[in-house]
Structure 1
């Protein structure tokens, strides 16, 4: 396959116009490039010279301003699926890990008896929020998968999920911090070594969720596309 200046320039400009996960973006741009080359080669076989064939293929493919929004929608769907899958897996997993560690390494019964009255309601609130987050992740994963035919604006599903994560995680951090304080006092996890490693894992997953949500917000933000 011969190198092509016009097609390569077009594809490079298309790639610059798009924002999204690296691998899906590369796949979309590569697919567009291959399609353009196939069209150009067919036109060249029909009698056009290479430059004319490439120019005709690009014109037939369409202006970037018209093509890019469709590709960007695909990337927003891909990013939303990734965030939804992360929530669907990581949030229930985190809840399960903490439940197990409390059972395997129980705290002092005396400490449990002296916990403040707000401890149980806050713990239940954390459980409810974790369940809600996992359910929303599953719903978004379904909507951006098999449910795409019924979803008119999947970009808003991705963006809404990202906004939810940014709004919910600070609340979760506050509630979980309160539970740690209520369980172990000002010393926090320092008096409960089994929880230190799990806390690091939990915070790492939260950071991953925040990063994924930030990416989704950036990808779904309305902005002018290169024409």
Structure 2
């Protein structure tokens, strides 16, 4: 019981201090437990009693607050990188899905319901939405590359995590804002445009939901990196 109590209490305390992705967190906690068990076994072989062996192992491992800070840096970097990869691959795929639905079910903008092309001021919204997708994709790709190179030169994972989370938050928010702005402009110019076909409406709703999910992930990345 003593063995389970000392090591389990330490790991449970460490667990409570670490917000982050489940898989990486589980791996880190398993690694910590294995290290503690190995150290305690060495002390038992040296003649220490069970409780003392575990206590010595925990003392050697380090204060839980210090270990939690180091582990949190790793968790934050892993989640930030995961968020950037999600933006990099999911955002262009969602955009191409929407564009495909528009081209198939609507065609060119001159084919808008009502027979009138959108006014001149409307087209910049569409162009910004299109350009934002690729600008965000390029930014996230560069952020991933820089973070990988940076990690080889510094041991400060938390700084890398903050930068990755910041890029993810700006990128996801910008993409979501551009998409919502285009939708609002479309409703203002021609409400029938959004409801021209069920497929186009579903593609639009799906795109907003995906972008909202990416923004939520980016917010979590920021929170984990604090």
Using structure 2 for the length normalisation, give the TM-score: 0.86
Alignment match, 1:224: none
CA contact (8 A) 2:162 2:222 kept: no
1:26 is the counterpart of 2:21: no
Match in the other structure for 1:215 = 220
Runs of 4+ in 1 over 6 A off after TM superposition: none
Shift of residue 216 of structure 1? Answer: 1.0
Checking the alignment, whether the CA contact within 8 Å between 1:4 and 1:54 is kept in structure 2 is no
Q: Which runs of 5+ in 1 are unaligned?
A: 222-227
Is the Cα–Cα contact under 8 Å of residues 40 and 57 in structure 1 kept in the other structure? Answer: yes
- Aligned residue for 2:134? 131
Deviation at 1:167, TM superposition (A): 3.8
1: CA distance, partners of 2:193 / 2:117? 15
Tell me if structure 1 keeps the 8 A contact 2:95–2:207: no
| C-alpha distance in structure 2 between counterparts of 1:125 and 1:5, whole Å | 58
Match of 1:172 in 2: 178
Give the whole-Å Cα distance in 2 for the aligned partners of 1:30 and 1:24: 10
Aligned residues: 219
TM-score after normalising by structure 1: 0.86
Stretches of structure 2 lacking an aligned partner (at least 5 in a row): none
Deviating more after overlay: 43-52 vs 201-210:
201-210
**Partner SS, residue 195 of structure 2:** helix
Q: Report what 1:194 is aligned to.
A: 199
Q: Which residue in 1 is equivalent to 2:187?
A: 181
Distance 1:106 1:170 in 2: 23
